Structure 1
């Protein structure tokens, strides 16, 4: 059974997954198009960081960054061995639940244009394409999405 709970991103298994995610992003996209948060930034008071666990193993991570006008989905990553098992969907549901509890009316995210499985996940959960937002700049390898929360 997959359990999603708030976790310290410095937990060794969470840190290992985040480092895998960062390495993947660096291998796929130019430095100027990488917008991931450093691990130390994920402990900010405005961020809810989650890990999905099965037994004692962390299978995936995700975060909600609370902004004044929206919430942003960050640091979504699932270990290769756990992909296709509903881990990302469970994390995303937790992020949406927390956003609603925090009074967030819309979720936004930036993802890489080559991350097709992520695009499908977000679309299945009601996200649609949108324009650039926040401090982001238009980048040829970025895709921006949003989902109103009702």
Structure 2
């Protein structure tokens, strides 16, 4: 099924991108007892999801948007944000493929380190990041929804 999935750079204002981001926010709001307000979290403005500041990827299968992920290009590292896959498409390796593309984009810009934050309630995400070589680090941002922070250095397994 993976061969039927396309992953492309998207404008954050594209309807498919807006759909994925809104579904991501909705899922977090349902999961967190306090809800989820994207304006309170570690924000990522739309212009930060566009080159040269960052990139937003949208995954589609059969023409339907089923996932997204973004990266912010900072001076010393690439910060992975807004990783989401539709529940109907989980288990197909889409999140891992999105992460591959985001990491590659950062590497092409000379960045040798990746960081991200997540929440312990997102167990599958933490498992994937750890399997991909991301290691726990101390808090590096003020995202009030995060309780786990990770880093991966180039050359990590």
TM-score (norm 1): 0.86
Residue 149 to residue 9, structure 1, CA distance change in 2 (3 Å): same
Find the partner of 2:95 among 88, 109, 120.
88
Residue 65 to residue 29, structure 1, CA distance change in 2 (3 Å): farther
Residue 95 to residue 138, structure 1, CA distance change in 2 (3 Å): closer
Query: Corresponding residue for 1:11?
Result: 14
In 1, Cα distance between the equivalents of 2:47 and 2:103? 23
Query: Corresponding residue for 1:142?
Result: 147
Q: For the Cα contact (< 8 Å) 1:26–1:34, is it kept in 2? A: no
Gaps of 5+ in 1: none
Secondary structure of the equivalent of 1:48?
Answer: strand
* CA distances 1:124-143 after superposition (whole Å, capped 9, x unpaired): 1111111111xx23758521
Residue 69 (1) aligns with residue 76 (2): yes
Q: For the Cα contact (< 8 Å) 2:42–2:144, is it kept in 1? A: no
Q: For the Cα contact (< 8 Å) 1:111–1:142, is it kept in 2? A: yes
Please show how residues 23-42 of structure 1 align to structure 2 within 5 Å.
23-27=26-30, 28=32, 30=34, 34-37=41-44, 39=46, 42=49
CA RMSD of aligned residues (A): 2.2
Residue 97 to residue 26, structure 1, CA distance change in 2 (3 Å): same
Query: Corresponding residue for 2:64?
Result: 57
Displacement of 1:56: 1.4
Displacement of 1:10: 1.7
Secondary structure of the equivalent of 2:104?
Answer: helix
Q: For the Cα contact (< 8 Å) 1:49–1:64, is it kept in 2? A: yes
Displacement of 1:44: 6.5
TM-score (norm 2): 0.83
In 1, Cα distance between the equivalents of 2:84 and 2:120? 15
Query: Corresponding residue for 2:54?
Result: 47
